[in-house]
């Protein structure tokens, strides 16, 4: 499985970011063909109360990097990428990786 992670920095106006992201950007992004999954996570403060380095983390999934690149190179993908500048006032970082999901092994119960 291949993943593109988009890290959004803290926006100048969080309420405006949220409104634009959910009401305008996401409907455009949902038109992108070929994705096998999608995650969106709003970052929370650390247990000690420190602000995290990012505001929002998005994961886009496809079977291969080539498929993910084709998704972004489609007209819908290009429109989605172009739209990022309209709301990401805190900047954005794109990270590409081949992801492996590791499930912890359950230890036998002790009596």
Length of the chain: 111
The pLDDT tens digits of the residues spanning 2-12 come to 999 999 999 99
User: Residue 61 and residue 65: Cα distance in Å, rounded?
Assistant: 9
For the structural domain made of 2-44+52-98, what CATH number should be given? 3.30.70.100
The pLDDT score that the predictor gives to residue 111 is 64
Q: Encode pLDDT of 28-52 as tens digits.
A: 999 999 999 999 999 999 999 999 9
Q: By the 8 A CB rule, do 80 and 26 touch?
A: no
CB 58 within 8 A of CB 40: yes
Whole-structure pTM value:
0.87
Other beta carbons within 10 Å of 71: 19
**Phi and psi at residue 83, to the nearest 5°:** -75, -20
Helix (H) or strand (E) holding 92: strand 92-98
């Amino acid at each position: 499985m291949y993943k593109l992670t988009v890290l959004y920095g803290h926006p100048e106006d969080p309420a405006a970011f949220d409104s634009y992201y959910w009401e305008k950007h996401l409907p455009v992004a949902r038109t992108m063909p070929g994705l096998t999954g999608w995650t969106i996570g709003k970052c929370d403060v650390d247990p000690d109360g420190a602000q995290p380095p990012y505001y929002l983390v998005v994961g886009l999934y496809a079977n291969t990097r080539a498929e993910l690149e084709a998704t972004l190179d489609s007209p819908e993908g290009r429109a989605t990428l172009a739209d990022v500048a309209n709301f990401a006032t805190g900047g954005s970082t794109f990270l590409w990786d081949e992801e492996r999901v590791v499930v912890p092994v359950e230890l036998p119960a002790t009596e």
